[in-house]
Amino acid sequence: MKKYKLKNINILLLTFIILMYLEVLFRLFTNGTIFNISFLYVFLYSLFASILISFLVSLFNSTINKVIYYISIFVISFIYGVQLCIYRMFGFYFDLSLLSATDQVTKFAGDGFKLIIENIIEILLLLLPFILLLVFIKKIIIRKSELKISIMKLISCILVYLVFIGTLYINGDNINSAKELYFNVSNNELNIRKFGVLNAFRIDVKRSIFGFDAKVNIIDDYVDPDDNDGDDEEVEIVYEYNNLDIDFDSLIADEANSTIKMMHEYFKNESGTLQNEYTNYFEGKNLILFMAESFNEIAVREDITPTLYKLVNSGFKFNNFYTPTISSTIGGEFQELTGLVAASGFLSPWKSGENYFPFGVATEFQNMGYSTYAYHNHTYTFQSRNKYLAALGFNNYLGCRNGLENRINCNQWPESDVEMIEATISDYIGSEEPFMVYYVTVSGHGDYGFNYSAMARKHKDDVANLDYSEKPLSYLAAQIELDQALELLIEKLDEAGKLEDTVIALVGDHYPYYLSLDEVNDIATYEKDSVVEINRSNFILWNSEMDTVEIDKVGSQIDVLPTIYNLFGVEYDSRLIIGKDILSTEPGLAIFGNSSWVSDKGTYFASSGEFVSRDGSTVDDDYIKYMNSVVSNKILMSRYIMQYDYYRKVLGG
């Protein structure tokens, strides 16, 4: 049978069709916009990549050329498939920094296989070009090109790339414009949406190998036309700032590293947050702080989780709180315990436990004479939790496989929150000193299904009267275990006479991403979007003796630590923590993984550039530009604080 001889120009055309096919299909599968300015970037880069591939597969004999070509198409298709699976599971995209989370990759290997089965049609469609190439493998010959043709390809490649670079300047210098993303800003999700999966992966690889220092944005002061500071109101109390005495001028003068010098200048120009009427409000009280696995506002129901319902709707009641999902559980815990945004590059230094954290929650409370404890009812080394909790001052952290397995059943999945409380409360409840306790729960973990989750099975009868599909129903059933753990905790504290002197604080690590958006909306009280509102949640901050205080200001996980510190009278520097005390005069802000944000004025969607006002009023472009710069800088400073071990530079240790 005669073989079809695919000349190099045909290989170029075939490759271009394959790349465009993969990108369009991927956007359809991930609800991305296909035809906008980003399509031009994808078109040009796909043309550039096609010419480059056709050049590379024409340098050798036909056998080697064919091997190179087939490997190239498979690897590219594989990258698209991986991004689809990661997005479907977690709601964010893969970047190379996530390889630091090796424990999580291993843990979710089985879940990933299950996800592949669930999305097998989409994955096969992404692999279809490679499969077809295999079918026709014996009919394809890719011959070596003549020298002049190879030179023409190289010249064409350069010209197309230069045209691509030129198009980046179409939308100017806005923070999330194509030009800024390509040269100055680190944002993998927006890179995928703007430039396509293949180009975004190339950018990620390049920056991972050669390093990348993003640009700090110089912010012009924004004067809010709605600000009423000019009114003649009598100021009765003058509050001080929650700041330490740091000589930034000397630090700047003595610093040789340009990035660290820039950081000194940035924090010197930050004002910090003022103390307020709630400063020292909980002074001397005990604190029990939770990070609750997959806890979300959809789990708060008076009928099946009455304790959660009571705690959410009394004490400090935060009406606009978010738990942005960035890098899964480890990202949520990082944000809660450091007050920093889980920006790209935080995982390795965080997991190593080698960075200096003078504002570590255990360290700070120990400095005030507290006894501190930490517990987790799953493997204690998971995600190197033992290392980073030690860096925060927890020197007696207990989990499964380092002692807690002698007190609870660590051989079920997920383990019981009720058992953890019951087995550990005696460690501290009789303490004559005030105590600070940190719990990381696991009962609410996915995947959700009564055959999968031991906690969902345990409470299956408690949700039998609810009319939902199995996955949302089993999620609610699993959260009942957390509810009953809190109920038990309150009961034991009350019996010991410690309840009125104890504060319970709880925040989730991320939304339950094992549920699809449709499944989340099935049990939500309103229709949520997949970027911002799916992350809306609750921050429990409760004491049995206090009156309910409603807070409408926007907040998120990074605000938990400074809010608690102000309430307990902890000495810290509010300039050096990116999150802010929600009870202060600082405007509210929640930052999401793709640089979308929610402020007290409304919601900004970074992918589309759309701003939705909270009350329907018009917000000027200067405000949006200003806030984009604020958000970009906060993300960047969070990354650099970890990357350069900045607290050690400023405060020694």
Q: Is the pLDDT of residue 231 over 50?
A: no
Angle at 521 between CA 517 and CA 524, to 5 degrees: 135
* Lowest pLDDT segment from 121-130, 181-190, 526-535, 587-596: 181-190
User: What whole-number distance in Å separates Cα of residue 564 and Cα of residue 478?
Assistant: 28
**Could you give the count of Cα atoms lying within 13 Å of 38 in the half-sphere of its Cβ?**
25
Instruction: Give the distance from CA 400 to its chain's centroid.
Output: 26
Q: Is the pLDDT of residue 230 over 50?
A: no
pLDDT in tens, 286-313: 999 999 999 999 999 999 999 999 999 9
User: What whole-number distance in Å separates Cα of residue 49 and Cα of residue 23?
Assistant: 13
Q: Are 359 and 110 spatial neighbours (Cβ–Cβ below 8 Å)?
A: no
pLDDT in tens, 153-162: 999 999 999 9
Domains of the chain listed by start with CATH number = 4-174 (no CATH), 272-579 (3.40.720.10)
Q: Is the pLDDT of residue 219 over 90?
A: no
pLDDT of residue 1: 43
User: What whole-number distance in Å separates Cα of residue 359 and Cα of residue 641?
Assistant: 13
pLDDT in tens, 309-338: 999 999 999 999 999 999 889 999 999 999
Instruction: Give the distance from CA 173 to its chain's centroid.
Output: 26
pLDDT category of residue 263 using cuts at 50, 70 and 90: very high
Helix, strand, or coil (residue 65): helix
Report phi then psi at 411, rounded to 5: -105, 15
Please report, for residues 174, 245, 357, the alpha-carbon distance to residue 360 in angstroms, rounded to integers and kept in the order given. Answer: 36, 18, 5
User: What whole-number distance in Å separates Cα of residue 188 and Cα of residue 607?
Assistant: 11
User: What whole-number distance in Å separates Cα of residue 512 and Cα of residue 414?
Assistant: 15
Q: Is the pLDDT of residue 40 over 70?
A: yes
User: What whole-number distance in Å separates Cα of residue 409 and Cα of residue 416?
Assistant: 8
In the predicted model, what is the mean pLDDT of the chain? 92
| Assigned token pair, 297 | 């506002």
Helix, strand, or coil (residue 590): strand
Helix, strand, or coil (residue 370): coil
* Lowest pLDDT segment from 19-28, 230-239, 287-296: 230-239
Is beta strand 4-5 parallel, antiparallel or unpaired with respect to 435-440? unpaired
Q: Is the pLDDT of residue 111 over 80?
A: no
Helix, strand, or coil (residue 600): coil
Q: Is the pLDDT of residue 112 over 60?
A: yes
User: What whole-number distance in Å separates Cα of residue 544 and Cα of residue 30?
Assistant: 45
**Close Cβ partners of 466 (under 8 Å, ≥ 6 residues apart):** 304, 473, 476
pLDDT category of residue 232 using cuts at 50, 70 and 90: very low
pLDDT of residue 256: 96
* Lowest pLDDT segment from 66-80, 205-219, 220-234, 530-544: 220-234
pLDDT of residue 143: 84
pLDDT of residue 345: 78
Mean pLDDT of 540-559: 98
Please report, for residues 56, 133, 442, 501, 572, the alpha-carbon distance to residue 7 in angstroms, rounded to integers and kept in the order given. Answer: 14, 15, 57, 80, 68
Strands in 323-369 per DSSP E: none
Q: Is the pLDDT of residue 4 over 70?
A: no
**Could you give the count of Cα atoms lying within 13 Å of 568 in the half-sphere of its Cβ?**
32
pLDDT of residue 370: 98
Alpha helices in 504-596 (DSSP H): 517-523, 560-568
User: What whole-number distance in Å separates Cα of residue 299 and Cα of residue 512?
Assistant: 10
| Assigned token pair, 257 | 């590293």
Report the 10 Å Cβ neighbour count for 560.
Answer: 28
pLDDT category of residue 650 using cuts at 50, 70 and 90: very high
User: What whole-number distance in Å separates Cα of residue 403 and Cα of residue 7?
Assistant: 66
pLDDT of residue 174: 77
Share of the chain above pLDDT 90, in %: 78
Q: Are 160 and 44 spatial neighbours (Cβ–Cβ below 8 Å)?
A: yes
| Assigned token pair, 85 | 């699976």
Helix (H) or strand (E) holding 597: strand 597-599
